[in-house]
Amino acid sequence: MTAPTDSAPPLLPGLRVALVHDWLTGMRGGEKVLEEIAALFPGSPIYTLFHFAGSVSPALEAHPIHRSFLQRAPGARRHYRRYLPLFPAAIEDFDLSAHRLVVSTSHSVAKGAVPAPDALHVCYCHSPMRYAWDQEHAYFPRRRGVAARLRSLALSRLRTWDVCSAARVDAFVANSRFVAHRIERYYRRDATVIAPPVDVDFFTPGEAAGGGGGSGRDGSGRDAYCLTVAALAPYKKIGVAIAACQRLGVGLRVVGDGPELGRLARTAGASTRLLGRVDGDELRRLYRGALCLLQPGVEDFGIAPVEALACGVPVVARGRGGVLDIVDDGVHGVLYAGGGGDADEAEALAAAIDKCRRIEFNALNLRGRAERFSRARFRERFSTFIRSLLA
């Protein structure tokens, strides 16, 4: 995939800017957003809880990176999430007094950094902490025992801190209308929606892409498959995708890894392939060859659906969350209601896949939708927003 272009002049030359990010341990969606924002402020320092050298892009590692005291904690490289109760203290420990603009990119505690009294603090919020709010039970299903009670107590204190620290932010930016609603619900704050950047210049339709998707992609080919691209966490509902494809007798390719890998490997049949992480070229090839992209979980935004559309591939997704900013039902894919237990959701997803296969989607129309989420458009909208606040 192409790297951000840093040839553009700095957004605010001469202004001391600090960038704050939760942790730099890999290049996921949040780090790609940070990469685009950092390109607007070349040379600005990045303050983060953890950073393991070589885990993020050269463009990010070219910035001065300040790590918290937790970087030196025992086992931090492999088990940094276990230090969650200490995250608020660690993020507040950074000295940002010399900076007039603080831009935090946060899905955990980065928004809780303490700016100088006369500084402007803008938070690009990927989501209020999912595991502390509405998805606590999905992340921590074991509810009994002393350890569970202590964890619940720690999360209760974390929620209190999360709400109080939101007052340190002058302006929130949300990555979707869904997240803007969650910010309003939990923090009682308004947020401006600016969708994340997606590399639509890299993700493009293949040479064979033409006017049709849907059933035209399926035919009778033995290698016809659905695709899902996600971290293998419980709330992603990858097991639902596996069950739905097994009902239809359709192959499934799963890109991603995470704590659910072992369980999914035990339930997956011969038609499901768990591919782990793949490089950009392989991911693009998988998109181009897929019948459709499946998103059975509720996502805050969903970069994978945009990447799929950019490759001319329709999306089948549960009709909740950030995907509503991306996919119009019947135009860019199929949205389904879901709900109920996993068996009911698998049945609903299977019906939606079957419906998608019967629709002739136009790859160029799908591509046109994805171009609304380009990196250039993100930089333009974010730059305009910052300038308007400083004006």
Burial class (CB in 10 A: 0-12, 13-18, 19+), 369: buried
- Helix H or strand E encompassing 181: helix 177-187
* 76 in any annotated domain: yes
Burial class (CB in 10 A: 0-12, 13-18, 19+), 318: buried
Domain shared by 146 and 235, yes or no: no
8-state DSSP, 104: E
Share of the chain above pLDDT 90, in %: 74
Where do the DSSP E strands lie in 126-244?
171-174, 191-193, 225-229
Residue pair 34/21 in contact by the 8 Å Cβ criterion: yes
- Residues with Cβ within 8 Å of residue 232, at least 6 apart in sequence: 238, 254, 256, 257, 258, 259, 260, 261, 264
- The least confident of 58-67, 150-159, 194-203 is 150-159
8-state DSSP, 39: H
Q: Spell out a b/e string for 51-90, using b for 16 or more CB atoms within 10 Å of the CB, else e.
A: beeebbbebbeebebbbbebbebeebeeebeebbebbbeb
3-state secondary structure of 159: helix
167: containing domain: 17-197+374-390
* 273 in any annotated domain: yes
Domain shared by 273 and 148, yes or no: no
pLDDT at 315 over 60: yes
Q: Which domain CATH number covers 340?
A: 3.40.50.2000
Closest CA to 13 of 42, 38, 33: 42
Closest CA to 93 of 119, 120, 71: 71
Domain shared by 238 and 105, yes or no: no
* 290 in any annotated domain: yes
CA torsion sign for 4, 5, 11, 14 is positive
* 352 in any annotated domain: yes
Given this model, what pLDDT does residue 343 score? 86
Domain shared by 147 and 228, yes or no: no
* 206 in any annotated domain: no
> How crowded is residue 223: how many other Cβ atoms within 10 Å of its Cβ?
6
Domain shared by 229 and 173, yes or no: no
N- to C-terminal Cα separation, the chain: 35
Separation between Cα atoms, residue 349 and residue 49, nearest integer Å: 39
Query: Rounded mean pLDDT of the chain?
Result: 90
Domain shared by 29 and 151, yes or no: yes
Domain shared by 99 and 222, yes or no: no
Q: Model confidence over 111-127: pLDDT tens digits?
A: 999 999 999 999 999 99
* 238 in any annotated domain: yes
> How crowded is residue 188: how many other Cβ atoms within 10 Å of its Cβ?
10
Given this model, what pLDDT does residue 146 score? 77
Given this model, what pLDDT does residue 190 score? 97
Closest CA to 155 of 234, 85, 82, 80: 85
Q: Model confidence over 134-156: pLDDT tens digits?
A: 765 566 667 677 777 777 788 88
Q: Read off the pLDDT band of 215 (50, 70, 90).
A: very low
Domain shared by 155 and 299, yes or no: no
Strands 251-255 and 293-295: unpaired
pLDDT at 372 over 60: yes
Query: How far are the Cα atoms of 228, 229, 252 from residue 297, in angstroms, in the given order?
Result: 11, 11, 16
Q: Compute and round to an integer the Cα radius of gyration of the chain.
A: 21
Share of the chain above pLDDT 70, in %: 91
pLDDT at 213 over 60: no
pLDDT at 4 over 80: no
3-state secondary structure of 21: strand
* 205 in any annotated domain: no
Domain shared by 383 and 357, yes or no: no
Structurally, the chain folds into a number of domains equal to: 2
Domain shared by 279 and 157, yes or no: no
Domain shared by 351 and 382, yes or no: no
Q: What is the pTM of this model?
A: 0.86
Query: What mean pLDDT comes out for the span 89-104?
Result: 97
